[in-house]
Amino acid sequence: MPAFLFKRLLNAAGVMLAVAFLAFLIFRFVGDPVELMLNEQASQAQRDELRARLGLDKGFALQFATFVGNALHGDFGISFRNQQDVFTLIAERFPATFELVLVATVLSLAVGIPLGVYTAIRRDSLPAKALQFLSVLGVSLPSFAVGILLILLFSVTLQWLPAFGRGEVVQIGWWSTGFLTPSGRRALILPGITLSLFQITLVMRLVRAEMLETMRTDFIRFARARGLKLRAIHFRHALRNCLMPVITVTGLQIGNLIAFALVTETVFQWPGMGLLFVQAVTFVDIPVMAAYLIVASFIFVSLNTLVDLAYAFVDPRLRDDAISGAANAH
């Protein structure tokens, strides 16, 4: 196990370095921050001077090396636009994104699994077919459109829920949470639904496919022959055997949700990391973009590692394989 972990950590470092490298390659094409930082009255000399002070006049290799060197010390610099410490900026916004993703994930499991089971066991019924059709819509509707529709319905017409923001938040140490206030919880509903919609359909279709597969297996047939209640067969026997891929996909999707919540965050002015990143791109805020990409890749890599570990933990066959495999390899 320690060898496995060590290998994983090395992998993570490699991935993050590669991401940073690619990011820096891209930054050369996103534009020139200096033209945005100075206003219309600044002279050419002032522009050149600022460019030099930010180190933007240096070559690509040197800029990249400087960034990696500083990042190793945990120093990501300060934002060109906000002049705030980049690490603080991201840390401030992480709780907002994380809570949103958490709500979306719970929603997707709570809604997606029952729907998946239902569409599998009643697969020829009309509601199941309608759900199947709706799920295609759910996959294909862009989340900004869903978000706006929800806002128009629940904020403008019915005036039940807020159209934007996080409501009142409570500060616990460096973590800010919206779970502890009524307005904070209300604010989570619309963005949570928007973000989870794709996820719900994903979980539903996955569960459905797995259920159909499992229902064909012998042990289900024997269970039926034994005269067990259908309910017990469906939920205790069949569903349990379907959950493995659901856990995997959900775990991996958390990374996706965190990294790509930015559309939902922009629509709902949700003060998370995605909104920060969108703003950084608009203003060519290189330190923020670089740090965001590093943090996002870190989350991806660690989630992947966790899922691998969880897999090994849940499924004994895999665990033996992984351990003996790792032992054999070294």
Partner 1 sequence: MKKHWLLAAVAAFALSGAVEAKTLKWGAAREIASLDPYSFGETFTLAVLNHVYEGLVRYTGDLKIEPALAESWETVSPTVWRFKLRQGVKFHNGNPFTADDVIASLARVTHESSPLKGNLPAYKSSKKIDDYTVEIEVNGPYPLLLNDLTNIYIFDKEWMEANNASLPTDAGKGVEGYATNNANGTGPFKVESRRADSKTVFVKNESWWDKPQHNIDRIEFTPITSASTRVAALLSGEIDFTNVAPLQDLPRLSASPDVKVLQTNELRTVIFAFNLKDALVESDVKDKNPLKDKRVREALYRAIDIDAVQKRAMRGLSRNTGAIVAPAIPGYVPKMDERLPFDLNGAKKLLADAGYPNGFSFLMNCNTDSLVNEEEFCQAVASMWSRAGLKPNLNMAPRSQQTPKRVKGEFDVISFGWANEPMIDAYSILVQVMRSKSGTGGVFNWGNWGDPRIDALTDKAGVELDNAKRIPMMTEALMIAKNEHLFIPMHQQPMAWAMGKAVEATVQASDNKPRLWLTRMK
Interface residues with partner 1 (CB under 8 A) are 29-33, 35-47, 49-50, 53-55, 70, 75, 77-85, 88-89, 92-93, 144, 147-148, 151-152, 155-156, 159, 162-166, 266-269, 271, 275-276, 278-279, 281-284, 287
Q: Identify the DSSP state of 159.
A: -
**Residue 247 corresponds to which tokens in the numbers above?**
């856990």
Min CB(299)–partner 1 separation in Å: 20
Angle among Cα 118, 122, 123 to the nearest 5 degrees reads 100
Quick one: 29 or 317, whose CB is closer to partner 1? 29
Min CB(35)–partner 1 separation in Å: 4
Quick one: 6 or 144, whose CB is closer to partner 1? 144
**Residue 197 corresponds to which tokens in the numbers above?**
């919609």
Min CB(243)–partner 1 separation in Å: 37
Min CB(64)–partner 1 separation in Å: 16
Quick one: 164 or 298, whose CB is closer to partner 1? 164
Min CB(217)–partner 1 separation in Å: 48
Quick one: 66 or 324, whose CB is closer to partner 1? 66
Quick one: 67 or 118, whose CB is closer to partner 1? 67
Min CB(110)–partner 1 separation in Å: 27
Quick one: 91 or 209, whose CB is closer to partner 1? 91
Q: Which whole-number Å values give the CA distances from 259 to 97, 101, 262, 264, 266, in the listed order? A: 9, 10, 7, 11, 13
Sign of the torsion angle spanned by Cα atoms 64, 66, 69, 72: negative
Q: For residue 80, what are the contacts with CB-CB under 8 A and spacing of at least 6?
A: 33, 37, 54, 283, 284, 285, 286, 287, 288
Q: Which whole-number Å values give the CA distances from 229 to 74, 221, 226, 233, in the listed order? A: 58, 12, 9, 6
Sign of the torsion angle spanned by Cα atoms 92, 97, 102, 103: positive
Quick one: 31 or 251, whose CB is closer to partner 1? 31
Min CB(264)–partner 1 separation in Å: 10
For residues 23 and 288, the answer to whether their CB atoms sit within 8 Å is no
Strand ranges (DSSP E) for 155-229?
170-172, 175-177
Displacement of CA 299 from its chain's centroid (Å)? 9
